[in-house]
Structure 1
Amino acid sequence: MAGDDTQIHIADLIGNELPYLRRYARALTGSQSTGDNYAAATLEAILQEPAIFQRALSPKTALFRAFHLIWSTAGAPTADTEDPESLLESQALAHMSGLTNNTREALLLSTIEGFSFEQVGKIMDIEPGEAANLVDIAISEMQKSMSGRVMVIEDEALIAMDIHSIVSGMGHTVTGIARTRSAAVELAAKEKPDLILSDIQLADNSSGIDAVEDILGQFGDIPVIFITAFPERLLTGDKPEPAFLISKPYTEEQVQSAVSQAMFFASSRSLQVEA
């Protein structure tokens, strides 16, 4: 009975953090299904062995630390490479081998999930200074390894200009900015983007999700980053969900990190084809 009470208490502690663990897991692996599998495995492990959930830490930090224990034990994989349909994710394995160990983990934890370097250290079992160094290395390595054409779908002019500045400052070319669903489709038709960065609610009350679906229906697989004030609404598990998600209000570092991650996986496919 005491064990049941412990499980219920832990479930209460981490319930609100699960959407963010799933966001992190899928960005880390580049796959919704693989990320969700490791998030689920983490929950099962915590329920079977509550000691891996360190209560001295904040619930979110303890949850992410437990995830890293499970994920690292499995060899820090990206995706199910035996699935022939997972070409984008499986080909990222070869590309990832050229990156310094643990850099992407530290980058995502710090910039996307908002952990301090001290918290990143607790999660990854490293010193805060090492965590900061890993983030710097990740940004440098990933920005130098690729550049491409980025399309922005955003109806707020100031935000659109800010994103344009951040993305172009990273060395990418911004193909244009669209404020509505129809404008987005027209813009993509003029020049196919390598990456789409899209808001959810657009100027004509249309959906950025619908605009992206229209574009993907025309061109096939293009990496997408969504921006929303309510990321948990897109992390329900009920349907295909974005691997890359930025919460509003965002920071420059969050945009840089998400763009680098998305372009990283996208470039993995082209690198493999050229080889």
Structure 2
Amino acid sequence: MSLAETIAPQLPYLRRFARALTGSQEGGDAYVVAVLETLVADPQSFPDTQMKRVGLYKCFLKVWNSIRLNRDAMEPKSQADRSLEAITPRPRQAFLLASVEGFTTQQIAEILECSTDEVSRLIEEAGEQIAEQTATDVLIIEDEPLISMDLEALVKGLGHRVSGVARTHREAIAEVRKKRPGLVLADIHLADGSSGLDAVNEILLGFNLPVIFITAFPERLLTGERPEPTFLITKPFEPNTVRALVSQALFFGTDAHVPDASSGLASQQRGPRLATSSDARP
């Protein structure tokens, strides 16, 4: 099997990691492109590892540490600038590799080229620093009662408040009218057949805020071919994944955006629309 065939299935997940690390789709995807260009130019640069996924992420972080795309992509985000003063990239890398990507401590040590003790220290440091910086009201849009209860417990465990729990598009809009949230966790397919994507797009017409989508099919929204959500949680999810992405979304102050259809200029200023419910279907 060729190197391209080996790493191709991992690209949606590498995009997820890159976007969480940079705090933006544009910045994260630019890094993935840079990695692919590096491998095309010099296939021998791919690390000689037993697990090819470990080698891919190791290659990615070597590119991350060697060029300035990360700084350029985040400027001039004042929230990110303030956050970055309190947490350095290396603890954030270790935290995401464990909590979002599911690597073992040994695998992270190989990726970061450090000891397992150092990995544990980095993860603990990142968790403490991120938790100190964030506290907000969270709207949960989820039609499965057990899942919504789990999400509510996780959100409260991070020190946040739950402003409301909605099972449908209509309920989500009603909850926002009662209290404006600082973060939205949204399922895609809701109880009455409505769309969490459409609900979020309607919410974002009024104001911008960080959004994390929950889906069993992340590859449908992580193609790199159109404006897409920066943060996604894959069902069934691990509690640490939720904790990590909630912290990352608030850490960067990464707002989602939709265009103002009445004005082309406003559309450019506010940014691209997120994928719609029809985009998420095969």
Query: Which range, TM-score by smaller chain?
Result: 0.7 to 0.9
Given the superposition, is the C-alpha separation of residues 91 and 204 from structure 1 closer, same or farther in structure 2, using an over 3 Å criterion? same
Match of 2:183 in 1: 195
Given the superposition, is the C-alpha separation of residues 153 and 79 from structure 1 closer, same or farther in structure 2, using an over 3 Å criterion? farther
Give, as a single letter, the amino acid of the residue that structure 1 aligns with 2:21. Answer: L
- Alpha-carbon distance in structure 2 between the residues aligned to 1:30 and 1:81: 7
Report the alpha carbon displacement of residue 75 of structure 1 after superposing the two structures with TM: 4.7
Match of 1:98 in 2: 86
Which TM-score applies when normalising by structure 1?
Answer: 0.88
- Alpha-carbon distance in structure 2 between the residues aligned to 1:79 and 1:141: 23
Aligned counterpart for 1:42 among listed residues 14, 35, 45: 35
- Name the SS for the 2:70 alignment partner: coil
Report the alpha carbon displacement of residue 77 of structure 1 after superposing the two structures with TM: 2.2
Q: Give matches, 1:177-256, under 5 Å.
A: 177-219=165-207, 221-256=208-243
Aligned counterpart for 1:157 among listed residues 116, 126, 145: 145
Within the alignment, does 1:115 sit opposite 2:103 as a pair? yes
User: Which is helix-richer, 1 or 2?
Assistant: 1
Report the alpha carbon displacement of residue 81 of structure 1 after superposing the two structures with TM: 4.9
- Alpha-carbon distance in structure 2 between the residues aligned to 1:242 and 1:267: 10
- Alpha-carbon distance in structure 2 between the residues aligned to 1:231 and 1:267: 19
CA contact (8 A) 1:154 1:160 kept: yes
CA contact (8 A) 1:185 1:211 kept: yes
Task: Kindly provide the CA deviation profile for residues 80-114 of structure 1, in whole angstroms up to 9, marking residues without a partner as x.
Answer: 256xxxx54x6413421221451111111111011
- Alpha-carbon distance in structure 2 between the residues aligned to 1:191 and 1:209: 20
Given the superposition, is the C-alpha separation of residues 62 and 28 from structure 1 closer, same or farther in structure 2, using an over 3 Å criterion? same
Task: Kindly provide the CA deviation profile for residues 161-183 of structure 1, in whole angstroms up to 9, marking residues without a partner as x.
Answer: 01001101111010010000111
- Name the SS for the 2:240 alignment partner: helix
Within the alignment, does 1:147 sit opposite 2:140 as a pair? no
- Alpha-carbon distance in structure 1 between the residues aligned to 2:214 and 2:38: 32
Match of 2:245 in 1: 258
Report the alpha carbon displacement of residue 233 of structure 1 after superposing the two structures with TM: 0.9
CA contact (8 A) 2:221 2:228 kept: yes
Q: Which runs of 5+ in 2 are unaligned?
A: 256-282
- Alpha-carbon distance in structure 2 between the residues aligned to 1:214 and 1:175: 18
- Alpha-carbon distance in structure 1 between the residues aligned to 2:194 and 2:167: 10
Match of 1:21 in 2: 14
- Name the SS for the 2:237 alignment partner: coil
Q: How many residues matched?
A: 255
- Alpha-carbon distance in structure 2 between the residues aligned to 1:267 and 1:223: 5
CA contact (8 A) 1:216 1:222 kept: yes
Given the superposition, is the C-alpha separation of residues 78 and 119 from structure 1 closer, same or farther in structure 2, using an over 3 Å criterion? farther
Identity among equivalent positions (%) equals: 44
- Name the SS for the 2:114 alignment partner: coil
- Alpha-carbon distance in structure 2 between the residues aligned to 1:124 and 1:49: 21
Report the alpha carbon displacement of residue 125 of structure 1 after superposing the two structures with TM: 1.3
Given the superposition, is the C-alpha separation of residues 136 and 76 from structure 1 closer, same or farther in structure 2, using an over 3 Å criterion? farther
Given the superposition, is the C-alpha separation of residues 81 and 195 from structure 1 closer, same or farther in structure 2, using an over 3 Å criterion? closer
Give, as a single letter, the amino acid of the residue that structure 2 aligns with 1:233. Answer: R
